[in-house]
Amino acid sequence: MTLLASRELEQAILTVLKGNEDLIALLGGVRLYDEPKRNSPFPYLTLSTTYSRDWSTGTEQGDEHRIAITVWTGSEDRLKQQEIFALLRSQLLDPDVHLPMTDHALINLLIERQDWRPDRKNHLLQGIMQIRAVTEALSNGPSNPAH
């Protein structure tokens, strides 16, 4: 089954992050989710594609993606959240790290921005890392504009 480029990219990022022992130790376990479970302990991380669009050239089928990695911590854990972001940054930008994808190739990945937002009502701190990535299909199959 061929996955949409955005889904395959998400899964590849999650696979790489789950293999980072330092990140897992900071999170207190494998707390990386598409959607967090109800009452998940903090800190934890969620990952989702915010949008994908066609980025094809005259010869290659490709997509541009924006992915948000959100780190949730307690409001008193700002330092821990910054440590988590530093690990995410070094892992994702490491030229020796390969994102395991079978149907698509990663052409470019950059971290566009990081935002921190206090949630005073719930005593939480939300950190969002926005990633821009470009992928190309490895096969020359028909274009699928729905992703």
Alpha carbons 67 and 84: distance in angstroms, whole number:
17
Contact status, residue 137 vs residue 87, Cβ threshold 8 Å? no
Predicted confidence at residue 18, as pLDDT, reads 95
User: Could you tell me which CATH number the domain at 5-137 has?
Assistant: 3.30.2000.30
Q: Hunting for tokens 């566009």 — which residue is that?
A: 112
What's the CA gap between 42 and 27, in Å, rounded?
A: 8
Convert 28-90 into a string of H (helix), E (strand) and C (coil).
CCCCEECCCCCCCCCCEEEEEEEEEEECCCCCCCEEEEEEEEEEEEECCCHHHHHHHHHHHHH
Residues in the chain, pLDDT under 50? 141-147
**Residue 64: predicted pLDDT:** 97
Which residues 6+ apart lie within 8 Å of 59 measured at CB? none
The sign of the torsion formed by the CA atoms of 26, 28, 34, 40 equals: negative
pLDDT at residue number 100 = 94
Q: Residue 2 has what pLDDT?
A: 64
* Domain residue ranges of the chain, discontinuous segments joined by +: 5-137
- pLDDT value for 1: 53
- The kind and range of the H/E element at 132 are strand 124-137
Whole-model pTM: value is: 0.87
- What pLDDT is recorded for position 144? 45
Q: What residue has token string 């996955």? A: 3
Q: Can you give the pLDDT at residue 125? A: 95
Locate 71 and state its tokens.
């780190």
